[in-house]
Amino acid sequence: MRVSEIAARLQAAWEGEGDREITGAAALESASAHEVAFVGSRKAAAAAAQSRAGCLLVTEAFPKGPTLIRVSDPRAAFAAVIGLLHPPIPVIPGIHPTAVIAPGADVPRSAAIGPHAVIGAGTRIGERSKVGAGCVLADRIQIGSDCLLHPNVTIYSDVTVGDRAVLHSGCVLGADGFGFVRAGDHYEKFPQIGRVAIGHDVEIGANSCVDRAALGVTEIGDGTKLDNLVHIGHNCRIGRHVVIAAQTGLSGGVVVEDYAVIGGQVGIGDKARIESGAVLGSGCGILTSKIIRKGQVVWGTPARPLKEHLEQLANLARLPELRKQVKELERRTRENKES
């Protein structure tokens, strides 16, 4: 694809060699003469002069160079260009002969069902969706159009998934929530009779789990992205365009509002609320019923505002020196008493 064609698709202006052929995308330091790279920081801008990239995606403020495409957000534009250069493999419709389709399941001709997949009764697959090898979809599931289920996805009954969802291998939707009631000397299971509702354009990473509600619904809003090994407990409500990094766990009844950002290895207690646009730093812990206010950035366990957390870390770093000073004062005190 030529530079001028890429710029046209991005609706952006180009400078330099518009006819240069671009065949791939790479990092700034390793890009070749037929690859595109982006300049997304001051450090990258300083290194751009040494780059061999055939085309650079830059901001309007970037100085003139050999071949450039000027965009408002180089990183986002770079992602779009990768999509242009490496389009997804088209869905080849058809049902593999080893797949098991229950009577009453609705599988359109435009869908693709892979080897050894299982589709339960009353389940509906959307147009042009692909169900990978070994996937198990139980009864009464609704899968939207243009979805991609990688191999070995498991979806329990009464789950709905919106359009253009991507479910990676090993993820499980609709398993029972962790609900048990103490009955004398043992625990009785609290029946989990709710469901799961996944919005449009959601991506769920490998080996992540979204539990069904005990009663009602566990919800994940449009555009939300879950990394690998994320656990969403029963009756959680996740808003739109939330991002959650790997190894994070949400206990039951947690509410996460739109555009929140949650780092890796975060633990969130029951019925906590994360308001819109809040940022939870990696490894932090949110106590039960805690509210993280709109736009707030928190870190640490228990989570506290970032500035406060950094001040506490700085104080901790001073403790060894303070200990030495205390010992020195003790020594002088003893010497004064002896004299």
Catalytic residues: 234
DSSP string, 43-71: HHHHHGGG---SEEEE-TTSPP-SSEEE-
- Cβ contacts of 333 within 8 Å, gap of 6 or more: none
In angstroms, the CA 300 to CA 306 distance is: 8
Give residue 326's Cα distance to chain centre: 48
Task: Give the number of other CB atoms < 10 A from CB of residue 160.
Answer: 19
Backbone region of residue 110 per phi and psi (left: phi > 0; alpha: psi in -120 to 50; beta: other values)? alpha
Q: Any idea which residue has 């000027």 for tokens?
A: 70
CB 223 within 8 A of CB 239: no
